[in-house]
Structures are given as structure tokens and as C-alpha cells.
């Protein structure tokens, strides 16, 4: 990243910080739990980014703007055009290729061993977004096919969006109050007509004593299919 590009990035990152000036050269830059101290005379910040790169960090830019100056004036001189021209003003001497490099007596540094990752390894090359996808050998493309409904046989829709299905569903809709209602008493009719009658009801005559006995009957039983 170029010097000016990095400086512009730090300028955008300097927004939202609070600046406390001690009246001499000390600045405290605060935001949330973050707090850093900046010295413009030493061109230093406690985050160490300005010290290492020579480009003012976001914290030091807050102090520079609080002082009313421009951040470009605090960029290190090594990023200037004059230093760039001075660096390449000397003659570049030719050098030998890799085959003629002197051999060292130290142990040769080998690349790290490949690490086996979990899962099945990928065999297909990762394609760029601009590359066309290869045709599948197991699945045909649906491009150009006309959608046909398996319910009514019409074209342009499937059975999920079939208008015939929606019309029949609307006509045969059952109200929630009538769906699944059980009859009173907890008894469910299981087809046909049902009725109840008393068992053992009537007048009986005892053959031994000739007495008339009135039988009040027993609990009723359900008779299925009786009119």
C-alpha cells in the first residue's frame, strides 16, 4: 500500500475519537476502552504504528487536527519524491543468476511438510467467477424446458401453483368449528344408525307362586343399525 493511500485510510479511521491535550505536547486519544498517548514532537504514538511506518496513525492524526495542522506534514521524508529519485539515482550493477550463487555450509532450510486436513480432499480446481461452469454429466439442464402441471396437464405452472387445485380446495373447505367435533357424551358413531334400549324390561310371572314381577330393566346397551 502506498504512503498516501495508507494515510487516507488512517484519516478515515481517526473519526469518532476524543482528544485531551495537556497544554504542552501530550495528547490522550480515547474511544470506548481504547486510550493512547501521542507526542507530536517525538512523532510517536503508544500504538507504535507511527513509529514503525513513518506514517501518522489514526490516533496521531486526531492530535494533528486538534492542533490545526495537516497530516501530510508529519509523513516521514522517506516517502517524498526527492528521496525516491535519490534512491534510484545510482547505477545498478549486474548480478549473477541463481545457478551461480555461492553455496552455504549451513544446513539447508526445507519447506514445511504438508499437513493432512480433515475431510475429503478437493480434486476440482477452484474456478474464477468469470469462467463458465462445465456441463454436468449426471444432470440435464432445465433451461428451455416448458413446465407442465402433473395435476391438470396445463403448461406454465406446476401442481403447487395450479389454479384448479386452489379452486377445488376453496370449494371443499371445512370450517374449523365442524372439523373433528365429537358428539356430546364422548360417544362416537361408527357408521349406520344407532339407538339405545333397555335390557330386561317388562312384566314377568313366577310359575311357582304365580306372582307378577315388574322388571325395571338394566343399564341400556347400544344397538347399531336399528331404526
Taking only the tens place, the pLDDT of each residue in 15-73 is 999 999 988 889 999 999 999 999 999 999 999 999 999 999 999 999 999 999 999 99
pTM (2 d.p.): 0.43
User: Where are the chain's structural domains?
Assistant: 3-84, 193-227
pLDDT of residue 178: 45
33 with 39: CB under 8 angstroms? Answer: no
| Sheet of strand 44-45: strand arrangement | 18-21, 26-31, 34-39, 44-45
Taking only the tens place, the pLDDT of each residue in 111-159 is 999 888 899 888 888 888 888 777 766 777 777 788 888 888 888 888 8
pLDDT of residue 227: 46
Whole-number Å distance between alpha carbons of 146 and 144: 7
Amino acid at each position: 500500500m502506498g504512503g498516501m493511500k495508507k494515510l487516507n485510510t488512517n484519516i478515515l479511521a481517526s473519526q469518532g475519537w476524543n482528544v485531551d491535550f495537556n497544554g504542552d505536547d501530550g495528547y490522550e486519544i480515547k474511544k470506548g476502552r481504547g486510550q493512547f498517548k501521542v507526542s507530536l514532537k517525538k512523532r510517536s504514538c503508544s500504538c507504535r504504528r507511527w513509529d514503525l511506518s513513518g506514517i501518522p496513525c489514526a490516533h496521531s492524526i486526531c492530535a494533528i487536527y486538534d492542533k490545526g495542522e495537516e497530516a501530510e506534514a508529519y509523513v516521514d521524508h522517506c516517502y517524498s519524491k526527492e528521496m525516491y529519485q535519490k534512491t534510484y539515482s545510482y547505477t545498478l550493477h549486474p548480478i549473477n543468476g541463481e545457478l551461480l550463487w555461492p553455496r552455504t555450509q549451513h544446513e539447508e532450510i526445507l519447506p514445511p511438510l504438508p499437513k493432512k486436513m480433515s475431510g475429503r480432499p478437493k480434486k476440482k480446481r477452484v474456478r474464477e467467477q468469470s469462467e463458465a461452469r462445465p456441463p454436468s454429466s449426471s444432470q440435464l439442464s432445465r433451461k428451455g424446458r416448458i413446465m407442465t402441471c402433473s395435476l391438470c396437464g396445463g403448461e406454465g405452472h406446476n401442481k403447487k401453483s395450479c389454479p384448479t387445485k386452489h379452486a377445488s380446495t376453496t370449494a371443499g373447505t371445512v370450517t374449523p368449528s365442524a372439523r373433528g367435533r365429537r358428539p356430546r357424551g364422548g360417544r362416537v358413531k361408527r357408521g349406520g344408525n344407532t339407538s339405545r334400549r333397555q335390557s330386561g324390561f317388562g312384566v314377568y310371572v313366577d310359575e311357582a307362586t304365580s306372582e307378577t314381577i315388574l322388571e325395571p330393566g338394566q343399564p341400556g346397551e347400544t344397538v347399531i343399525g336399528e331404526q
